[in-house]
Structure formats: structure tokens, C-alpha cells
Amino acid sequence: MPSVRQSWVASANGHADFPLQNLPFGVFRRAGTSETPRVGVAIGDDILDIPACVAAELFKAFGDDVQHAARACVSPSLNALMGLGAASRRALRDALTALLASDVDENARQIEQYALVAQSSAELFLPVEVGDYTDFYASVHHATNVGSMFRPDNPLLPNYKWVPIGYHGRASSLVVSGTPIARPSGQRKGPNDAEPTVGPSRLFDYELELGAFVGTGNALGTTIGIADAESHLWGYCLLNDWSARDLQAWEYQPLGPFLAKNFASTIGAWVVTPEALEPFRAPLAPRAEGDPAPLPYLTDEGDRARGGLALTVEAWLRTTRMREAREPAVRVSTGSSLDLYWSFAQMLAHHASNGCNMRPGDLLGSGTISGPEKGSRGCMLELTWRGAEPLELPNGERRGFLEAGDELTITAFAERDGAVRIGFGRCTGQVIG
């Protein structure tokens, strides 16, 4: 096997999430300061401050296109860089790799002194100013499990295997990892209740998801073809679409989720690029016998051959008692993004197929990622089967749904023989109230 390219940033070599081969983008500032947030990339335990590299003219050797892309990072969001498109992202990422690689280290001392910030000393922000957020329902296992709870004889509605189902989420309530999550209140009506009551959600849940950000979009009235959709996807993140299942059960018919979903969704602070994920591309999961083939506008041989992402996604739970006892979080779910029924390219192509204009920074959520096994179910609703089969935690606690003080963390990573493992960091929220 060829030697793995190393970085002069020692913590990056062998790092579980952020080796040289990853370099995810995010927005940060030094903690405890009033600095304007700006764009950086994660490298090992540190963050490379791209605007500091711009100020030091470290990109001059890489040409005008790279300098233009780097100057777009002198901003409190990734939107300007995203709007430049995939070619600018690739060029800047190549330059950053060169600056950080151990075999090209003439600028290492200057970078280390002026442009390298420890992640432990940084405050992270939402990486993108999201204008619109659409959450899909792309896991057939999740859709089947949830449907069977309410419609045992007909779990999947007739349209599921023909069209990527989604709903318009609330961009204003997207928050970055680490933000506390207040339990929402609303109308809820149990099956034996004569009428609804208003109060805090009793069936509070997480959803184990991935998100994809749009880079260059399309004009109103035009479409994004399935063959080109991948080039419009700028990067990927962790996503937790918190859900109040009791509010959802009462309100979702006939127009779908509303107050049960729009109070908060947490995204990870780091955006992983398609270039970092290239070694982990995979064919889409084969459809079950008898399933319809996707309609032509959702069909592309390239997407079928490499539109899947071989990512392991995990959910970790840590209760108040566990924190007080200094016990680690326990993993409650492990799934794979290869279990998604629809690819992100299909989601985007469908979203724009009616002429809807997509814009830089728009976010697409995968919906809950669940697999065929009980341990791969991506939310408490499925894991505990609406609370009827509570989770037994190692310290003796039981959980049907999330309770006050519970901290839920989502992680994701990719690894295979011949490639360096990369990860997405953490997407964490603690329930309050």
C-alpha cells in the first residue's frame, strides 16, 4: 500500500476525525474574544485560520483562483465560498493540503505561530447561513417501522418508493452542536384522551441524520438534472432533527410536521467535502424485488454506481446520573448511510424538478437513518417501539424517550482498507426543561 501523506500538525496523523485527508470547513473564533467569526478547517486537534493565511499572503503561490476562494473565507459563514462552486472548493482544498502537508513545510512555522488555533480554545458557530431547510424521509426502514406503528396492514404509503418524500423545515431554529435544547410545549392528544391538552412534550426524541449543503443553485423556473446534481452538493454535515412525537402524532395530518419539528434542529460544526468522501463512495443499495425503478428524472448510471456514502452513523446517550458519576456516554444506535433508499443527488434533483430555486447554503436532511436490525434504528420512537420496550442503560436507568438532562450526541465516520479514516466530529445537544 502506498505511504499515507502526513501533516506537520502532529495531532492530525492518526486522528480519528480530522487527518490531513479530511480538512472539513467550519466557522470559529477564539473563545472569550469579540473577534468576528471566520472560516477555518479542522486539522487534528487544531483549526487552521484561513483569513490569517490570507493576511500572511500564503496563497499567492497558488494563483488567482485560490486567492479568490480564500478571500471568500474572510466571512462569518461559508455561503460566499459555497457560491463560488465546486472548482473553487477543490482548488482551495488542494492549497490547504499543500500548506499543511509535512512534505511541503516551508510555511509551517509561520502558520503554527499565527494561523493555528487549538479547537479546545475555539468557539464554533453555525458554519452556514441557511436560507431554506428541507428534511427528507429517505430511509425505507425508518418509514416502514414508523408506518407499521400506525398502519400495521399498510406501513408504506403508495408514493414512498416512487418519490423522495420531504417537508419544509424551519431554518431559523437550526442551532450548532453544543446548544442546549428546550423541550417544546404544544397540543398533544393520547389515544384514550377525550380532547387535546397543552403542555411540554412527553415523547421527546432525536433523529440520527446527515445533511447536505447546496453550493451553486439554479434559477427559479429551471431544474437540476440528476446527472449534474452531485456537482451542486457542496458538503455534508451531521444533523439531529429533534422531534416531539406526541405533538407530531396529533398535528401531522393532513399537512405533515409543524410544531413537533420546528423548535430546533442541531447541525454539526464541520462540513465535510465531497473530495474527502471520494474514497468512500459506493453503489446505491439495490432495490427489493418488485420495487419500481426510479423515474427517468431520478435515474443516472453514475449516481447508481457511486451515489452512496459508506458512512457509519452512531447515537450516544449520556444522562444526568451518568455525568454525575463520571460515566461515559453509551451508544444506543449504529447505522449506515448506505441503508438510505434515496441518494442525496436524487433528493436534490427531485427538489428542483418543479423549478424550485436552490441557493448556496440551502440544507437537505436525509431523515432518520435506520437499518434492518433493532440496534440500527435511528430514533427513540423506533428503538423503544413508542416507549413500549424501554432502553435498559448500563447504570440501571431506563428510557422510553429523552428526559431532562439527557445529552444526545451523533457521530459519523468512514473507513475502509487502503484509505485513511475520517470523521465528522460531534453533534451534541442536551435536553433542558
- CA geometry: angle at 92 spanning 111 and 300, to 5°? 150
Task: Classify burial at 207, counting beta carbons within 10 Å of its beta carbon; exposed 0-12, middle 13-18, buried 19 or more.
Answer: buried
Q: Is 278 annotated as a binding residue?
A: no
Please give the Cα distance from 417 to 85 (Å, whole number).
31
151 is in an annotated binding site: yes
Catalytic residue among 15, 141, 142, 351: 142
Question: Radius of gyration (Cα) for the chain, nearest Å?
Answer: 22
265 labelled binding-site residue: yes
Residue 153 annotated as binding site: no
Q: Is 248 labeled as ligand-binding?
A: yes
Eight-class DSSP state of 388:
T
Tell me the C-alpha distance between 429 and 254, whole Å: 30
The answer to whether residue 142 is catalytic is yes
Spell out the residues 6+ positions from residue 172 whose beta carbon is closer than 8 angstroms to its own: none
The answer to the question of whether 57 is labelled as a binding residue is no
Q: Is the dihedral of CA 20, 26, 27, 28 positive or negative?
A: negative
How many whole angstroms separate alpha carbon 71 and alpha carbon 64? 10
Q: Which residues contact 272 (CB under 8 A, 6 or more apart)?
A: 22, 24, 235, 236, 237, 422, 424
Is the distance from CB of 24 to CB of 42 less than 8 angstroms? yes
Q: Are 209 and 240 spatial neighbours (Cβ–Cβ below 8 Å)?
A: yes
Does 241 belong to an annotated binding site?
yes
Residue 177 corresponds to which cell in the numbers above?
Answer: 452542536
CA atoms of 82 and 72, how far apart (whole Å):
9
137 marked ligand binding residue = yes
In angstroms, rounded to a whole number, what is the distance separating the alpha carbons of residues 156 and 171?
A: 28
Pairing of strands 181-182, 308-309: unpaired
Q: Which residues are annotated as a binding site for Ca(2+)?
A: 135, 207, 209, 241
Residues belonging to the binding site for Mg(2+) are: 241, 261, 265
Binding residues for substrate: 137, 151, 248, 252, 368
- Going by the annotation, the residues of the binding site are 135, 137, 151, 207, 209, 241, 248, 252, 261, 265, 368
Catalytic residues, by residue number, are: 142
